[in-house]
A and B are shown apart, each in its own frame.
Chain A
């Protein structure tokens, strides 16, 4: 029997992963809040710990947790930061 494939048949592009960093001190770190209640509690503490270790921290937030981050926001984080940490909730 011959069936037609119901799936997308997409061919994802393979990209090299960004180089991992060894020491956090001196690096630009983005903290992305997905805008769910109390996600900021977690990020506040992460920010504190990162600053203690010498990281330069910038905070970002998605407009709503129900939708993917807008392209502009992703570009801004990519342009400004070396590392991004995203806080999930629930």
Chain B
């Protein structure tokens, strides 16, 4: 509905300022077209056109009532919000308006900003754009059981993806619902923003998490990250999402106490949404393409934010080439968490030696450069390096040196253990690096108390298996 050219005012009866200016509106008579958001019999003595649908209010972008606008050729060319005698007189060209009234009075919020109205309009505008098949449940069906029965669940209950919830989820991004985000293995299916939104709803995400989920899916479905192989492997690994930049705080992620554990909605549901997309869109399910011998609990969900504010070092995403302040996800093929205790080291050399000794055991102490690892340094351990002035590069350099392992210790059969490196790599006197170049990540997270850090082992590294992938989160 388009308002006519000329002077137009929008009011609502429940606004005291509108009540105050009612005599002025009556006095202006035919010189002004009047719309009421709640009661067309208001103001008494002249009434108003009914805009309880708010179509005119939205068309005129009304934020406040009363608002008076001048419309020319269908466009608003001047606007006054609330009651302000001088400006009302200038806009209407009528002097001496509301002589008994105060000079100025602020207005009230327009009904177009009522949360229920905004929500209803969002749903009405988005649902027609959705293309997913509708699954209609009978009245006697329990929706949670029905979702289990269709195989949509990872084993935990799901939030039912109603049209309204999916529409709200889609509002978490400016990307169109039909935009293709990635081709998801193993079935190599084009996955749209809408399909991601459906799975994000089921995972329990809030709409503001969606950009992070989308970035995680883009990163996971690259040739380098190789989610297909990661899914199919008999090894423990699944995708871990590490979040950097302002988005982590904006959506309330946990990078502190219990950062790798339960209890934070964003951490819990972003990782779960990624896994549900792989399951439902890609068709990757345990016992089918997922052949894990044991798996690990992180395959339900594994996502945390880096504690950048408390870190002595540059954030992981910056180290990996993105500008400071960029929101980003880094995907790592994580096998599980192994704790490192060192409550006695007070100098960085000693603590680095502890880290190296524990890192050597990733996958197997006699296996080298096949497995990547992520070292999550906690605040109390990080303090030791901060106070000694060690940069992250310095720590890595130290670890690289400490993890040059004598081949005699690694060769098959050494130590009475058949497992190990083949003889042709183990000439006497040589040393082999535990990790390939770039295969050891270091991040900072955790609660303020506890001289513990975490090693998260990886999977077959690099081109042979999975490359670590960092992607910017597009929040606008």
Give residues in A with beta carbon < 8 Å to B. 1-10, 64-68, 90
Give residues in B with beta carbon < 8 Å to A. 130, 132-137, 141, 143, 146-147, 152, 160-163, 166, 184, 187, 189, 191, 194-195, 198-199, 202, 226, 228-230, 232-234, 276, 280-283, 460, 463-466
Tell me the bound Cα distance from A65 to B291 in angstroms: 14
Task: Evaluate contact between A8 and B135: CB separation under 8 angstroms.
Answer: no
List chain A residues, Cβ under 8 A from B466: 66
Task: Evaluate contact between A7 and B134: CB separation under 8 angstroms.
Answer: no
| Residue of chain B at shortest CB distance from A4 | B132
Given known A-B contacts A3-B143, A6-B195, A64 and B463 have beta carbons under 8 A apart: yes
A70 to B: closest C-beta gap in Å: 11
List chain A residues, Cβ under 8 A from B229: 64-67
Tell me the bound Cα distance from A4 to B137 in angstroms: 11
8 Å CB contact of B465 from A2, A4, A66, A68: A66
Task: Evaluate contact between A2 and B163: CB separation under 8 angstroms.
Answer: yes
Number of A-B residue pairs, CB cutoff 8 Å, is: 84
A29 to B: closest C-beta gap in Å: 25
Task: Evaluate contact between A67 and B135: CB separation under 8 angstroms.
Answer: no
List chain A residues, Cβ under 8 A from B137: 1-3
A36 to B: closest C-beta gap in Å: 10
Given known A-B contacts A66-B226, A67-B226, A4 and B198 have beta carbons under 8 A apart: yes
Given known A-B contacts A67-B229, A68-B228, A5 and B189 have beta carbons under 8 A apart: no
Task: Evaluate contact between B162 and A4: CB separation under 8 angstroms.
Answer: yes
Task: Evaluate contact between A1 and B281: CB separation under 8 angstroms.
Answer: no
List chain B residues, Cβ under 8 A from A64: 229, 463-465
B276 to A: closest C-beta gap in Å: 7
Tell me the bound Cα distance from A7 to B133 in angstroms: 9
List chain A residues, Cβ under 8 A from B134: 2-5
8 Å CB contact of B143 from A1, A10, A66: A1
List chain A residues, Cβ under 8 A from B234: 90
Give me 7 other A-B pairs in contact (C-beta within 8 A), A4-B135, A6-B281, A66-B232 excluded: A1-B160, A4-B166, A7-B152, A8-B187, A66-B226, A66-B229, A68-B228
Task: Evaluate contact between A10 and B189: CB separation under 8 angstroms.
Answer: yes
Task: Evaluate contact between A2 and B162: CB separation under 8 angstroms.
Answer: yes
Task: Evaluate contact between A2 and B281: CB separation under 8 angstroms.
Answer: no
List chain A residues, Cβ under 8 A from B130: 4
Task: Evaluate contact between A66 and B195: CB separation under 8 angstroms.
Answer: no
Could you list some 16 contacts between A and B, CB below 8 A? A2-B162, A3-B135, A3-B162, A4-B194, A4-B198, A5-B132, A6-B199, A7-B281, A8-B187, A8-B282, A64-B464, A65-B229, A66-B226, A66-B465, A67-B226, A67-B229
Task: Evaluate contact between A6 and B228: CB separation under 8 angstroms.
Answer: no
List chain B residues, Cβ under 8 A from A5: 132-135, 198
Tell me the bound Cα distance from A2 to B195 in angstroms: 16
8 Å CB contact of A9 from B133, B136, B228, B232: B133
Task: Evaluate contact between B202 and A6: CB separation under 8 angstroms.
Answer: yes
List chain A residues, Cβ under 8 A from B463: 64
Given known A-B contacts A10-B189, A64-B464, A68-B228, A2 and B280 have beta carbons under 8 A apart: no
List chain A residues, Cβ under 8 A from B464: 64, 66
List chain A residues, Cβ under 8 A from B162: 1-4
8 Å CB contact of A10 from B136, B146, B187: B187
Given known A-B contacts A2-B162, A90-B234, A7 and B226 have beta carbons under 8 A apart: no
List chain B residues, Cβ under 8 A from A3: 134-137, 143, 146-147, 160-162
Task: Evaluate contact between A66 and B135: CB separation under 8 angstroms.
Answer: no
Tell me the bound Cα distance from A30 to B166 in angstroms: 48
List chain A residues, Cβ under 8 A from B191: 8
Tell me the bound Cα distance from A4 to B134 in angstroms: 5
Tell me the bound Cα distance from A4 to B152 in angstroms: 11
List chain A residues, Cβ under 8 A from B133: 4-5, 9
| Residue of chain B at shortest CB distance from A88 | B291
List chain B residues, Cβ under 8 A from A9: 132-133
List chain B residues, Cβ under 8 A from A10: 187, 189
A34 to B: closest C-beta gap in Å: 11
A44 to B: closest C-beta gap in Å: 19
Tell me the bound Cα distance from A23 to B198 in angstroms: 51
Tell me the bound Cα distance from A7 to B161 in angstroms: 12
Most buried by B among A6, A66, A68: A6
| Residue of chain A at shortest CB distance from B161 | A4
Task: Evaluate contact between B132 and A8: CB separation under 8 angstroms.
Answer: no
Tell me the bound Cα distance from A25 to B464 in angstroms: 36
Tell me the bound Cα distance from A41 to B232 in angstroms: 23
| Residue of chain A at shortest CB distance from B190 | A8
List chain A residues, Cβ under 8 A from B166: 4
